[in-house]
Amino acid sequence: MTNSTPKLPNDLPDPPRGLMARLRNYFLTGLIVAGPIAITLYLTWWFVTWVDGLVRPFVPAAYRPETYLPWGVPGSGLIVAVIALTLLGFLTANFIGRQLVGVGETILGHMPVVRAIYRGLKQVFETIFSSSGSGLRKVGLVEFPSPGMWSVVLISHAPNEYIFESLPGEEEHVAVFLPCAPNPTTGFFFYVPKSKIVEVDMSAEDAATLIMSAGVVQPNGDPNRKIAALGEVMKAANDANAGRQPSIVNIEQN
């Protein structure tokens, strides 16, 4: 009688033999499956309840679902906020709405401290939510914090004429943001000569994942192509150190 037990593929590791090893393996597998789901649900719940807490005080008690139900309805404030912002955008799109917004901006423009905060936040929101904006969507490498050490940066725009005139030399500079690991929302902002930036064909989302995981999660791609791209990076570094214009490196992904 032949043994009909199926064999494991050669590329899979041997299953753990001891009971404790099996339990540990099952626990880690469950953690990998449930961890991202639990964190995603927690962050979603936190955002919904946070918006509800902001919007609920502005909604009359007669229009709140908890007034007629024995329990609250999570997300009701979020729905009200979405409808209110949509109506605000609709009203702003017409002539009267634009006039009212202009009057409000004029009033804020005469407030010494408030006007600087408002103008800065307005430019940030217009850049981030603009469909044609390209700020912080390109990824590159710069030699930082010391020669031979390369950091992933998000490429922004060229400086305005006032900052450009203050920068030394006549070479074109570009603003870059260097996110910190594991929290990419914090980092360093500085201007760097354009010739010192090695552009990488990688999305900003993949770069954020790479930084948050401290290099553990790598973007998918062809290993042979990655090796060739690393060679191009080293060549670009040598060109930059020698004072030559480095070529743009494209690390393509599949």
In this predicted structure, what is the pLDDT of residue 70?
80
- Residues in the chain with pLDDT < 50? 1-2, 8-9, 12, 223-224, 226-227, 245-254
pLDDT at 209: 82
Check: CB of residue 172 under 8 Å from CB of residue 193: yes
> What are the pLDDT digits (tens) for 103-132?
888 888 888 888 888 888 877 776 666 655
Q: What percent of the chain has pLDDT over 70?
A: 75
Please, which residues have CB within 8 angstroms of residue 31's CB and are 6 or more apart in sequence? none
Phi, psi of 140 (to 5 degrees): -150, 180
Question: Tokens 């360093």 belong to which residue?
Answer: 188
The per-residue pLDDT for range 188-227, each reduced to its tens digit, is 888 888 888 888 888 888 888 888 887 777 776 554 454 4
199 Cβ neighbours under 8 A, 6+ residues apart = 138, 139, 140, 155, 248, 249, 250
* CA angle, residues 44, 35, 37, in degrees to nearest 5: 40
**pLDDT, position 133:** 54
Whole-number pLDDT of residue 163:
83
Give the C-alpha separation, 122 to 116, whole Å.
10
Is the alpha carbon torsion for 90, 91, 96, 101 positive or negative? Answer: negative
CB-based contacts of 26-35 (< 8 A; 24+ apart in sequence): none
pLDDT for the residue 128 = 63
Residue 55 CA to residue 145 CA, distance in Å, equals: 44
Non-local (6+) Cβ contacts of 202 within 8 A are 139, 210, 219, 251, 253
3-state secondary structure of 192: strand
Task: Determine the pLDDT at residue 246.
Answer: 45
- Check residue 127 and give its pLDDT: 64
| Residues 6 or more apart whose Cβ sits within 8 Å of residue 78 | 48, 51, 52, 55
pLDDT at 248: 45
CA distance 198 to 240: 10
CA angle 82, 87, 93 (to 5 degrees): 130
Nearest by Cα to 240 from 100, 132, 144, 122: 144
Rounded to whole angstroms, how far apart are CA atoms 92 and 114?
22
Beta strands per DSSP E along the chain: 138-143, 150-155, 173-179, 187-193, 198-200
What pTM does this model have? 0.54
Residue 184 CA to residue 149 CA, distance in Å, equals: 19
- The single residue listed with the structure tokens 């980092």 is 187
Contacts of 43 (CB under 8 A, 6+ apart): none
> Vertex 216, ends 220 and 186: CA angle to 5°?
105
